[in-house]
């Protein structure tokens, strides 16, 4: 007697089908599970045994072989409990695999963890599994009740929510009917209701301008300044300046959180994520990985949102270096012995740091006590290649008392966001046929077309590059930022004023101030 039930597994952010085969023979009672199951999968037999007893059934007293196909792919997690239980009952002729409305076991993907009492518990990756089921032509999915909201995000497939194993047994045997869930219209708010606002930040006009430029072009940004100057306060308000998530972006973010097991029962994530890992994080925690199955790291959990690294030099250098490829390619590839997975990493990196070890270099309130060599060592914790990938580097000075006591508030997040959205609209129209969405994503081919400068601009760039010893990557970052500044101004071409402002956003580069002063003197 042989029975088959379809289930699924997740590799990266993509789902694929797993076939659960149960064969019962005659002879000595035994249970064997094959198909590269990990410990959690092997333990499924104990959970299923107890759940069946609670539903009034005994474990079949026969030799049982459970195969998880394809056999060359490692299986992990507890999502196979429910399909294994159903396959056992089908092989024992307790339920039938007959065509019967409203769903047919042969055309249905089943996932869920079982408690010892038979309750169906949530599992991770249901959204990706529902997408895979639809793409493979299945008619329905059976998921835990807690995962129903994310499964309903996938159009074109029926979703059945299970609370208890007995419900499915009654439905499959014909003694009761489980109705499919009804989808509600999905709407994304054009203006998320944020509790924080840029108007809360007093002073810091230049830093606010830099944040606006970063938001308008999707640029990475670094804030450097003394403690208490408002770096963290500014960063936490950056999501309020960004355009709302599109439905496609929201689905991508939701899929990542579903795979990571961090999705709540509301289903679709409607606001851009903001992740702020502590500086003690490991490289696995930052970019993803783990054993036996890799999981998304903080850089992927910030996909289409903001990754904030506070006290940047305090992060271990090997950890920071792992960010170089994800920031450049917008995905991270993780290879383990039996599997290679990819996770998306299209993020805005925002970093904050003090200018020196004591924190008060450039402060007007306290004197810096650091020697030059100490400052050098402190800044050298951040490698040049990583700094090259940060488009904007801006100083955040001390806030003066007259700014704190001022009764006039600055611009609100809504006012700045309106300009950001207008600049983003210009970029989307310009890059319509390229598959890109913002200036930060510009490739060399697009830069040659859209980032042209006049002769005066070339002279400025030549002096800056030669004086500071900039890399080609840093040169390109300046041009991208200048393109964004021009878009904010509604200018078709990059002017010398746009370029000068972009150059000024490189506060950690050497000998920058004399170059800018010379530029101002020459007009």
Across residues 303-308, what is the average pLDDT? 96
Check residue 103 and give its pLDDT: 52
Tokens 């499964």 map to which residue?
A: 151
Please report the pLDDT score of residue 509 as a whole number.
Answer: 67
CB-based contacts of 187, cutoff 8 Å, min separation 6: none
Tokens of 154: 């996938």
pLDDT in the model for residue 435? 84
CATH architecture of the domain with range 442-523? Orthogonal Bundle (1.10)
**Domain ranges within the chain, ordered by starting residue:** 2-173, 198-400, 442-523
Cis upstream peptide for 70 (omega within 30°): yes
Q: Which residue has the tokens 């329905």?
A: 140
Q: Which residue has the tokens 């709302």?
A: 244
For residue 254, the model assigns a pLDDT of 95
Distance CA 209, CA 216 (A): 11
What is the pTM (predicted TM-score) of this model? 0.88
Q: How far apart are CA 159 and CA 127, in angstroms?
A: 11
What is the predicted pLDDT for the residue at 174?
75
- For the segment 175-192, the average pLDDT, to the nearest whole number, is 76
Highest mean pLDDT among 283-292, 396-405, 463-472: 283-292
Q: For 418-470, write each residue's pLDDT tens digit.
A: 999 999 999 999 998 888 889 999 999 999 999 999 899 999 888 888 877 77
98-107, 203-212, 358-367, 456-465: lowest mean pLDDT where?
Answer: 98-107
Comparison of pLDDT for 401 and 253, the residue scoring more? 253
Q: Model confidence over 343-384: pLDDT tens digits?
A: 999 999 999 999 889 988 878 888 888 888 888 888 889 988
Identify the pLDDT of residue 187: 65
Least confident of 60-69, 305-314, 407-416, 421-430: 407-416
Instruction: Provide mean pLDDT across the span 473-498.
Output: 93
How far is the C-alpha of 162 from the C-alpha of 113, rounded, in Å? 11
> What rounded mean pLDDT belongs to the chain?
88
Preceding omega of 292 cis (within 30 degrees of 0): yes
pLDDT over threshold 50, residue 521: no
pLDDT of residue 388: 85
Q: What CATH number labels 198-400?
A: 3.40.50.300
Whether pLDDT at 211 is above 50: yes
CA 111 to chain centre: 24
How wide is the angle at C-alpha 431 spanned by C-alphas 155 and 424, nearest 5°?
80
Residue carrying structure tokens 């950001």: 420
- The single residue listed with the structure tokens 């890799």 is 294
List alpha helices for 311-454, DSSP H: 317-321, 324-329, 372-379, 384-388, 401-404, 413-430, 444-450
Q: Which of 153-167, 261-275, 462-476, 480-494 has the lowest mean pLDDT?
A: 462-476
Whether the per-residue pLDDT at 189 is higher than 70: the answer is no
Cα separation, 435 vs 422, in Å, equals: 19
pLDDT at 181: 92
Task: Considering only residues 134 and 293, tell me which one the structure prediction assigns the higher pLDDT.
Answer: 134
Residue 188 has what pLDDT?
Answer: 63
Higher pLDDT, 75 or 103: 75
Q: What is the CATH number of domain 2-173?
A: 3.30.230.10
Segment among 129-138, 152-161, 380-389 with least mean pLDDT? 380-389
**Sorting pLDDT into bands at 50, 70 and 90, what band is 515?**
very low
DSSP 396: -
Give yes or no on whether 2-173 and 442-523 have one common fold: no
Distance CA 391, CA 397 (A): 20
Phi then psi for residue 353, to 5 deg, are: -155, 160
| CB neighbour list of residue 128: distance below 8 Å, 6 or more residues apart | 10, 13, 14, 15, 255, 258, 259
Q: What backbone torsions phi and psi does residue 266 show, to the nearest 5 degrees? A: -75, -15
Give residue 190's pLDDT.
Answer: 55
Confidence of residue 101 (pLDDT cuts 50, 70, 90): very low
pLDDT at 92: 85
Give me the pLDDT at residue 514, please.
41
Q: For residues 239 and 237, what is the distance between their CA atoms, to the nearest angstrom?
A: 6
* Closest C-alpha among 519, 513, 514, 521 to residue 499: 519
285 neighbors 319 (Cβ within 8 angstroms) = no
Q: Is the pLDDT of residue 519 over 50?
A: no
| pLDDT value for 106 | 75
* 250-254 average pLDDT score: 94
Lowest mean pLDDT among 186-195, 419-428, 503-512: 186-195
Q: What is the mean pLDDT of residues 467-484?
A: 87
Judge whether residue 193 has pLDDT over 80.
no
What distance in Å separates the CA atoms of residue 156 and residue 139, rounded to the nearest whole number? 8
Among 237, 266, 241, 234, residue whose Cα is nearest residue 253: 266
User: Which letter does DSSP use for residue 365 in this model?
Assistant: S
- Give the orientation angle of helix 81-91 with respect to helix 165-173, to 10 degrees: 40
Contact 483, 439 (CB under 8 A): yes
Q: In the predicted model, is pLDDT for residue 522 greater than 80? A: no
Can you list the positions of beta strands (E) in 202-330? Answer: 221-224, 274-275, 288-289, 295-296, 306-309
Q: What does the pLDDT read at residue 104? A: 56
Residue 272 confidence class, pLDDT cut points 50, 70, 90: very high
Q: Reduce the secondary structure of 457-517 to three states and give it as a string.
A: HHHHHHHHHHHHCCCHHHHHHHHHHHHHHHHHCCCCCCCHHHHHHHHHCECCCCCHHHHHH
SS3 state at 455:
helix
Is the pLDDT assigned to residue 414 strictly greater than 70? yes
- What are the pLDDT digits (tens) for 36-53? 999 989 999 999 999 999
What pLDDT sits at residue 41? 93
The phi and psi torsions of 221 (rounded to 5 degrees) equal: -145, 145
- Residue 182: is its pLDDT beyond 60? yes
């Amino acid at each position: 007697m042989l029975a088959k039930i379809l289930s699924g597994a997740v590799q990266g952010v993509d789902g694929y089908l797993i076939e659960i085969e149960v064969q019962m023979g005659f002879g000595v009672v035994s249970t064997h599970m094959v198909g590269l199951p990990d410990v959690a999968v092997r333990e499924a037999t104990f959970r299923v045994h107890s759940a069946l007893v609670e539903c009034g059934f005994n474990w079949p007293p026969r030799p049982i072989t459970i195969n998880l196909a394809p056999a060359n792919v490692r299986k992990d997690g507890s999502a196979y409990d429910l399909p294994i239980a159903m396959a056992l009952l089908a092989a024992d002729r307790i339920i039938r695999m007959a065509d019967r409305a409203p769903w047919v076991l042969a055309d249905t993907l089943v996932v869920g963890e079982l408690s010892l009492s038979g309750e169906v518990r949530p599992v991770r990756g249901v959204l990706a599994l529902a997408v895979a089921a639809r793409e493979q032509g299945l008619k329905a999915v059976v998921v835990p009740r807690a995962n129903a909201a994310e499964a309903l995000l996938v159009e074109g497939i029926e979703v059945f929510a299970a609370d208890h194993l007995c419900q499915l047994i009654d439905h499959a045997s014909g003694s009761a009917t489980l109705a499919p869930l009804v989808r509600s219209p999905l709407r994304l708010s054009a203006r998320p209701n944020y509790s924080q606002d840029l108007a809360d930040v007093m002073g810091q006009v230049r830093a606010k301008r830099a944040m606006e430029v970063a938001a308008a072009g999707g640029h990475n940004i670094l804030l450097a300044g003394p403690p208490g100057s408002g770096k963290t306060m500014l960063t936490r308000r950056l999501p309020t300046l960004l355009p709302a998530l599109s439905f496609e972006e929201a689905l991508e973010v939701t899929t990542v959180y579903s795979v990571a097991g961090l999705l709540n029962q509301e289903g679709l994530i409607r606001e851009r994520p903001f992740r702020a890992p502590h500086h003690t994080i490991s490289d696995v925690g930052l970019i993803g990985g783990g054993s036996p199955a890799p999981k998304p790291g903080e850089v992927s959990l910030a996909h289409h949102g903001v990754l904030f690294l506070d006290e940047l030099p305090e992060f271990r250098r090997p950890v920071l270096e792992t960010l170089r490829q994800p920031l450049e390619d917008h995905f991270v590839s993780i290879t383990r012995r039996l599997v290679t997975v990819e996770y998306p990493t299209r993020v805005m990196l925002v970093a904050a740091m003090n200018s020196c070890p004591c924190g008060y270099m450039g402060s007007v309130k306290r004197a810096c006590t650091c020697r030059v060599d100490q400052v050098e060592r402190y800044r050298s914790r951040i490698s040049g290649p990583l700094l090259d990938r940060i488009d904007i580097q801006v100083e955040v000075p001390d806030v003066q008392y007259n700014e704190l006591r001022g009764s006039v508030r600055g611009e609100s997040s809504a006012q700045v966001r309106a300009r950001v959205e207008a600049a983003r609209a210009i970029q989307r129209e310009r890059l319509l046929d390229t598959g890109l969405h913002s200036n930060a994503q510009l490739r060399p081919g697009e830069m040659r077309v859209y980032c042209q400068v006049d002769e005066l601009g070339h002279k400025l760039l030549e002096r800056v590059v030669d004086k500071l010893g900039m890399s080609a990557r840093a040169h390109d970052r300046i041009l991208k930022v200048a393109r964004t500044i021009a878009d904010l101004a509604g200018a078709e071409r990059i002017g010398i004023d746009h370029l000068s402002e972009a150059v000024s956003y490189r506060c950690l580069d050497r000998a920058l101030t004399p170059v800018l002063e010379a530029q101002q003197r020459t007009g």
